[in-house]
Structure 1
């Protein structure tokens, strides 16, 4: 057996060959020893250099006219000195003599030092990979991020049968069809028109260059990309299952999809620079998405039933990252683009595709190839459906945070239910077949489910089914979509009243409570969202936030909408209403649930917004003079929803605490201090304890950074 005596300086992994060690260390340092003779651009792999050199031959044929005198600094010739270890920064006397280096300013304001190529040590390249990555293809993605080569199959996966493999996500060249004979541009001289188009193409390329320069300045390596994708699947996917881990093939994914997944995964890494690296990945994906969505619309995977599935999935992940980002510019961009996912889905007719038929389910005795093929066909359809449903979930989140109405009518959603989580999480085709055989075959659509929730009491409603946690989240957002219309004092046609909404939420509550197919952490997550939406039924928490901030001059960048006197609320009057007391009970429940969530499940995308809504209600009560409150020690939630509307035949008593709960809602509970069924809460103390929760959340969801200072100012107002 060969002794492995050579160890990596960074991670101590050992190797038997020197060239393997050097290749591995380049994944840490980002060093690129191969240089293009034409443009001096650097590459870590000889095959990448060979592909790149073909571009110079192609450009010479396409644009024979003299090039522009303005020199564009290639992004790949920039390398932050932070990407090199101390040993590599002092490899020559010339390096130590460099007093300063020029820098390139990107479109995002990043200054990227330009490292002289002579400072880079020569390292022989081996074609062999001898280091362990969870996703070995991360090495290739790392190389191609800086290599926008149209001939590179990574840009549009080889499985794309509907577009030319030569097209690139980063191919900013202008198609010949743009300048046709019928175009007004044909009146311009051919030389001038080609030169103008070339200049425009150059501008777009420069835009891409500024973004990719930020990538290099972030010291991103293939190991980092590998870590991010790994964390995306093991941390984020359990809380938002839209990609199928068991059949996921790295090389069949477009770059923007991978980059957005990795950007989300970066939020779960410990190093402080992970956030900056994740933002750089998101920005690069955003540029690719906004400039090449027409190409991505034509992409169709090997098992996809239609085009554009990866585009819609990419948009979903981009929205999730952007909506909860620490960077306000990214959050604003996410809000501005958040309806595009639905537009692309309509253009690609994703919702028109027929669901997977259980008649096509193979038997356990079928051949391995047949079972595997059926499994992958089903997985592609499931991803397609979950990506669409995910947009409904995120639409509810973003519309509420931004103060805007939802992008689509959630109640008109005719998509069917996703498969069970057990089937989606199956590791083998045999496990998948076994779980699929146990599934209910009732053909329910979300439109039918939501409609049934408003049926008269005593009639059948669909929440008796054991829906998956993902399906219930879509149902909750469907109900939440009615809130923006119901806030008007005037009655609107087709909009449920508060009484009808509370009845519907009660049915959902009972469905979540009795559902045997969901785990306890999932149940807590669903109740967390349920309480948050029910709180907003009482009073929109974003309006409360803007009202407090407007009245007391508190600066906030969390809740959208205009902060003006028109949104001010009479806080003292409101806290003494039934809705005010209901909102407080929901706010307390939100805090308690978040504190109960297991550490591995504390990554649900709606946690920051839920906790901030809870803090807002605490603040309103404290500012209005009710810092100490007495509440029932055990709350009967059906009573919370029905109290005050007994004439509507709300719901029968569900617990022995119904009387205590209704007393509190009616305002008859304020003086009871000695009862064993009551407990006291100091809301100012609870606000202080929430600050720690926001600090913990900020490690995953950066928007919490903007929430914490608002809480600080509110606490100061309460003293």
Structure 2
């Protein structure tokens, strides 16, 4: 099966009918062949001798669910906000602020780095310029990668992880066409990348550890062999970059600073690889006609599947771009959403089609969208709501596209801030774009359907990012140590006296409500931990830097915030739940709300990044002393 061609008799599969899933690995799947491929690639790259096979994997034992850890904080729904007064900021320990910097979610903390540094410092200065044999031997040992001694887990293990990927992760990041996915020698890296992410959803720490090991091995192999795969046919090249995309996603969500930095570091490489395989220059195939014979219909279907997977790959890159720019506070690399490149994206029914007839029928129904006028994201933001164009049509047709466009709007905000072009007129334009996006979704009933992408969470977070410099808030609570914190404190206190502060605090409450209303058992989208962190950050700053009476709740009817008026009903209900009325001192509620948001962040899914962000906020809270 492994070396054979894909089976194109697409049986219907669903999570309740998992035994019939045609993309699972069969008993004759040659795990050792894949394992040998990985070891060979790593050995050639590191110039190491081949490691002998270690025999069958021992991971055939029943998988035991991971014991859920009890929350360290009381549930956010049970915290009495008025019972926790917030004292004004009097003193912040310099040592505690420096400790915050060391525990920051982006701070690299490697014992090996410190050991290497100490060794380098302790070495006696050399009297001669040059290399002797002893130094050469040290270099040789240093250049060698550690040997790979473990084989891949069993077929049973890989299938469990693959099922978890399809049922838990694919709905929130649909970039692979599952109905046509078949394990082959050409897509082995993609399969392993899917398994590594799937391991996060099994509920076993041992399975998770194996998934992390697969991720690291696969990462080394892709870096060692990318040129060979890009030189192969279109299918293998696309499969390789898809595997790398999922690897980037794994790195972003793992919660380890070194993984997150690696994702940021290789994001530019991903864009270069995407250009190399012409991801951004795909020409959409023709619309099917009734006169086509069966062979032509099959060929057209496969053209469309490749075209759509390329589109979704590009859209996923723009989502990564927005998230990495948000986490690291730097300029995004891709300037426009994929929908601005002159190519319509298929609607959701097309990408979920499992046979030729369903797919081609969906194409014919969407044919009119191919004639829509095209415009850039910036031009779309300036248009009056209601005009028909490619972006409006794509948002209406595809929830994943709506998610990608919203991520691109978030990236546009970050780009404007870092390019020093975030003027009042620019803020107004970006606000208009976010409001137009919301109205298109509302008019097309997108918010009335299950939202796998938690888009309203991202929408509220984007408004917070628009109206405050998150980097400045982070610096004020200790990201860069106590000296930078003291230097940013004045700017933060000034911001708290502005209407923008009230605006951001309100969006934080509404964002919290959106997360709390998620269906039990659903998985949060990629941005949810970062969005919750953003909301908690503005309330944390309010608790540490505001004085009693400085930040008061105005009358809702008099609020000049157009986007808050758009969700006025939800806003008023949320404020009543927190006991907030016109004139309420928001500073008096801030500590309790901050704790509630951190608690929610700790419970928001299984991503390691959520725990890392929560630890950063907790450290910042503990640095605040009377």
Alignment TM-score, normalising by the size of structure 1: 0.61
Give yes or no for contact 1:524–1:593 (8 Å, CA) kept in 2. no
Pair 1:435 & 2:357 matched: no
Deviations, residues 165-201 of structure 1 (Å, cap 9, x unaligned): xxxxxxxxxxxxxxxxxxxxxxxxxxxxxxx9xx99x
- 2:593 match: 686
Give the equivalent residue in structure 1 for 2:404: 474
Q: 1:421 aligns with which of 343, 348, 354?
A: 348
Q: Which residue of 441, 444, 450 corresponds with 1:512?
A: 441
Instruction: Note the C-alpha offset of 1:712.
Output: 2.1
Deviations 1:115-165 (A, max 9, x none): xxxxxxxxxxxxxxxxxxxxxxxxxxxxxxxxxxxxxxxxxxxxxxxxxxx
CA contact (8 A) 1:411 1:450 kept: yes
Q: Matches of residues 286-435 of structure 1 in structure 2 within 5 Å? A: 286-300=219-233, 304=235, 308-359=237-288, 367=294, 371-410=297-336, 413-435=340-362
Closer, same or farther: CA 500–84 of 1 in aligned 2, 3 Å? closer
- 1:101-128: CA deviation from partner (whole Å, max 9, x where unpaired): xxxxxx999xxxxxxxxxxxxxxxxxxx
For 1:48 and 1:403, the matched residues in 2 are separated by 39
Equivalent residues in 2 for 1:139-538, closer than 5 Å: 207=145, 210=147, 212-213=148-149, 215-216=150-151, 220-251=153-184, 253-300=186-233, 304=235, 308-359=237-288, 367=294, 371-410=297-336, 413-439=340-366, 441-443=368-370, 448-455=375-382, 457=384, 460=387, 462=389, 464-465=392-393, 466-487=396-417, 491=421, 497-516=426-445, 520-522=449-451, 525-538=454-467
Shift of 1:386: 0.9
Please name the residue that 2:603 is paired with. Answer: 696
Please list the CA deviations of residues 251-276 of structure 1 after superposition, one character each: whole Å capped at 9, or x if unmatched.
Answer: 15433222221111111111112332
Q: Counting helix residues as a fraction of each chain, which structure ranks higher?
A: 2
1:657 shift after superposition: 6.8
Q: Measured at CA, do residues 485 and 246 of structure 1 come closer, stay the same or move farther in structure 2, by a change above 3 Å?
A: closer
| Change in CA separation of 1:626 and 1:386 when aligned onto 2, cut-off 3 Å | farther
Counterpart Cα distance in 2 of 1:44 and 1:342:
31
Is the Cα–Cα contact under 8 Å of residues 196 and 214 in structure 2 kept in the other structure? yes
Q: Distance in 1 between matches of 2:486 and 2:545?
A: 18
**Distance in 2 between the 1:533 and 1:396 partners?**
11
Q: Aligned equivalents of 2:238 and 2:455: distance in 1?
A: 27
In structure 1, the residue matched to 2:522 is 601
1:524, 1:597 within 8 Å by CA — same for their partners in 2?
Answer: no
More displaced stretch, 460-469 vs 600-609: 460-469
Moved more, 326-335 or 425-434: 425-434
Measure how far apart 1:314 and its partner are: 2.1
* Offset, 1:459: 8.0
SS at match of 1:442: helix
Task: Answer yes or no: is 1:582 the counterpart of 2:489.
Answer: no
Residue 51 of structure 2: aligned partner: 74
What is the alpha-carbon distance in structure 2 between the residues aligned to residue 483 and residue 358 of structure 1?
36
Aligned residue for 1:335, secondary structure, equals: helix
The one of the two structures with greater contact order (alpha-carbon pairs below 8 A, sep at least 6) is 2
Q: Does 1:571 align with 2:504?
A: no
Contact 2:510 2:571 in 1 (8 A): no
CA offset at residue 351 of structure 1?
Answer: 2.0
Instruction: Give the C-alpha shift of residue 350 in structure 1.
Output: 2.5
Q: Deviations over 1:594-622 (max 9, x none)?
A: 11112343331111101111110110111
Aligned 8 A contact 1:615 1:687 in 2? yes
Deviation of 1:332 after TM superposition, in Å, equals 1.6
Distance 1:659 1:335 in 2: 36
For residues 559-587 of structure 1, the C-alpha deviation after alignment (integer angstroms, 9 at most, x for no partner) is xxxx6666555333212211111111111
1:541 paired residue among 458, 463, 470: 470
Contact 1:688–1:715 (CA<8 Å) still a contact in 2?
Answer: no
Cα distance in 2, alignment partners of residues 624 and 108 from structure 1: 35
Q: Are residues 224 and 655 of structure 1, via their aligned partners in 2, closer, same or farther at CA, if it must alter by over 3 Å?
A: closer
Task: Judge conservation of contact 2:533–2:613 (CA < 8 Å) in 1.
Answer: yes
CA contact (8 A) 2:381 2:432 kept: yes
8 Å CA contact 2:196, 2:215 repeated in 1: yes
2-side partners of 1:240 and 1:655: how far apart? 27
- 1:25-40 equivalences under 5 Å are none
Provide the TM-score with structure 2 as the length reference: 0.70
Question: If you compute each CA radius of gyration, which structure gives the higher value, 1 or 2?
Answer: 1
CA distance in 2, matches of 1:370, 1:543: 58
Seen in structure 2, the aligned counterparts of structure 1 residues 310 and 497 have a Cα distance that, compared at 3 Å, is same
RMSD over aligned Cα atoms: 4.6
- Change in CA separation of 1:275 and 1:573 when aligned onto 2, cut-off 3 Å: same
Could you say which residue in structure 2 is the equivalent of 1:155?
A: none
Secondary structure of the 2:344 match is coil
Cα deviation for residue 72 of structure 1 reads 4.9
Change (3 A) 1:618 1:440: farther
Deviation at 1:635, TM superposition (A): 9.3
Unaligned runs of 5+ in 1: 1-22, 28-42, 60-69, 86-106, 110-195, 555-562, 644-652, 674-678
Question: SS of the residue aligned with 2:284?
Answer: coil
Contact 1:423 1:435 in 2 (8 A): yes
Q: What is the CA distance between 1:374 and its match in structure 2?
A: 3.4
